[in-house]
Structure 1
Amino acid sequence: MRRANYERESETVAFSGFLNAERQRILAAATPKRRAQMEAAEESRTVYRAWNAVCSGTREGRHVTGLRYLPESNELLVYLDSPSWTQEMTLLREIIRVRMERAGAHVDGLVFKTTAPGHTPPAAKERLRPATTERPPAPHAELSEAECTEIERQVAPIEDQKLREALENAMRASAEWAKGVQSKKEP
């Protein structure tokens, strides 16, 4: 059994403490070149997390087709689905950069480029995806004469004819659906 495992099994250690100790152990065993690569990877993770904190789920974020962190220049390269969004994001560059800095990632700049022609943006792929399965028809059962008369009686006090007819149609559809659901539950 390795010594690290023995120490971990003999006492209770917080997960964050374990992760930090394991990180230190891995970095200490790495060559200087490999250590620099690992630190650059950690920095890029911080940049991507900050980008997601600032832009994920926003109107602007839906038009992003790709991200690439450039550690040599400390810039984030952002690909967008159209030239108009590239222009829009260029105007928002400093606002996004400052928000990313507040989220914990300092980048010297943001570079916005339009995705190559022929690339289908993620939002468009979602719209083009065919329906996976057809939905079964809604449960439906014809109403009795008494049920139809009751609905007509309930909407009769409404003076506006269009409103009365719309409400009557809605109530009839709702009652037919409810009756259809109920009939499927009963054996």
Structure 2
Amino acid sequence: MIAYENLLELNKPFTESFKQQFDDFLNSGWYILGKAVGRFEQEFAAWNNSAHCIGVANGLDALTLSLKAYNFEPCSEVIVPSNTYIATILAILNNNLVPVLVEPDIHTYNIDPVLIEQAITPRTRALMIVHLYGKSCAMDAIMAIKQKHNLLLIEDCAQSHGATFNRQKTGTFGEFGAFSFYPTKNLGALAMPVP
């Protein structure tokens, strides 16, 4: 059996700081939508070169809300990589949309732009790409496809915090970037690029 990351050991150097911050949070009486969340949203947006950040419960909620904002006609198609985590697919299904699975590039394991182009139909409304393993997708090719077909672009950045493509951070290419802070990932958040 492969041992799972020991989060207690990993966080041991930060224990006292975490306890103090938790006590401050607990004693503030603001458990949702408080100053700590607002401060996080501002700091994360600035760090990611985004105009806005909205903290949500998790990465699935971030993806679901990003699609919901566009109110697509039911059964519209969203292109998504076949080798993604189930949350990406669930966000599409939660909006009564149809996921269209596209295989990854065999060298990067990120979605293959050539296969994206081949999967587009008259019902395609969005691309939901996933930057995997800390590596950005081929954003030059993906942005060209997005513009050519006038598609919404949602970036699943659960595994790409801080990753860049041509010095631009992931989560800032499309209309939305969805992040996750689950311990196995690199707190869910939406980030929107500077207009």
- Tell whether the structures are fold-level matches, with TM greater than 0.5: no
Higher RCO (CA-CA < 8 Å; seq separation 6+): 2
TM-score bin, normalised by smaller chain: under 0.3
Q: Could you say which structure has the larger radius of gyration?
A: 1
TM-score (norm 1): 0.25
TM-score (norm 2): 0.24
> Which of the two has greater helix per residue?
1
